[in-house]
Every structure is written in C-alpha cells, then in structure tokens.
Amino acid sequence: MGRLDVVVSNAGWTRITNFANLDEGMVDEDWDKCFLYNVKSHLWLMYACREELEKTEGCFLTTASVAGVKPSGSSLPYAVTKAAQIHLAKGLAVICSPKIRVNSVSPGLMLTEWGMKFPESKREAAKNATKLKRLATDVADQTSASSGKSQRQMVNEAGHANFPNFLASYGLRIYNPDDVQEGKEILNTMSNLDYGVKK
C-alpha cells in the first residue's frame, strides 16, 4: 500500500441499561469505559494517522450514534459520550482543515449482532420511531459517501474487506473493550508504533 486516504474510526463501548433509570446510569466504570472508547480512542487514532491523511488530503470518519444527538440509547454514559464524540469530530474538523476532512455518522439502532442483544420490545419501539418503519443493518453507504469514495474503492484500496487486517496493515490493532487499562495504555504506546503506510 502506498497511501492512506480514509480512516473509519468505529470503536465504541456500552453496557445496556435502562436509560430512564438514573441509578443504572451512575456506574463509574461505565462512564470511564464509555469515555475511553467513545471519545478518546477516536482522538488517539486521528493523532496517529494525521500526517498520512494530510499527505493525501484524506478523510477521517467516526461512527457516533443518534443517542449523541437526542437523549436516548443503551445507557446515559453512552449517550453523553456519543455527544462528546460528535463534538470531538467538529473540533477535529476545525483543527485539521483544510488538509483533512473530518466527519461522523450517527446511526440509530441497527440490526447487527450487537443490536440484536436488545430486547425485542426495544427493537420494535426503535423501528416504530423511524419514518420508514425499519432499522438499518449497516452504515456503509453513509460512510463511503462521507469519505468521497465508493465502498468498492475503500475495499480495493484496503486490498480486502477484513477490517481488523486492514487496521493491522497500518500498524494499528483493535483493543479489547473489556480491558480499560489496556485502553489507557494506547496513548503511551503510540509513540513506539510506526503508523506510516507500508512502503
């Protein structure tokens, strides 16, 4: 690979709780993990890939959530940190322009493996709250449209559709969201890793 054009920062974490129950929203560990994975990880990844994206006038995209736009979602810590993630993307857009385009997409509940963990009643309520009365299965179209590249271009440039391997090809890896300490060490180890594109 000779260049880095698009980075999709898709890290995130939550613990499903009753959003309307303040007692369930008062768990310190949930707040710490949500800030680590829903906010800081995106900042650290942008910092790591900034020089390469500047060279190509590339695009950095984060996957936020509709829970960051309106109070809702799997938990209070999740909603608050997704709002922070959206604001982070806006801040990074100001800081990194005009060389790098920064944006975020904010999907609602999606029928992914994770989304299917919600009770049927919650999935049905989410579906009925949409204008089209259906839930999405992915946001690939929105992501590729925001990047200025087609999905096919993104996959072809990656050489494969296996996202963990795509990240690994740039010296990055996916961290276990259950290990907060490991996440805190990401920033400390960044200076020791080569984030440049393979020559």
Concerning whether 195 is annotated as a catalytic residue, the answer is: no
What pLDDT was estimated at residue 180?
38
What residue ranges define each of the domains in the chain, with the CATH number in brackets? 6-190 (3.40.50.720)
What pLDDT was estimated at residue 173?
41
pLDDT digits (tens, 9 = 90+) for 166-190: 444 333 443 343 433 444 444 344 3
What pLDDT was estimated at residue 155?
37
Distances (CA, A) of 136 to 62, 112, 116, 172: 17, 9, 12, 28
What pLDDT was estimated at residue 119?
85
What pLDDT was estimated at residue 139?
56
Tens-of-pLDDT digits for all 199 residues of the chain?
A: 568 888 989 888 999 999 999 999 999 999 999 999 999 999 999 999 999 999 999 999 998 988 999 898 889 999 999 999 999 999 999 999 999 999 988 877 777 777 788 788 888 888 888 778 877 665 555 444 444 544 433 333 333 334 444 444 333 443 343 433 444 444 344 333 333 333 2
Which one of the listed residues 37, 47, 78, 170 is annotated catalytic?
Answer: 78
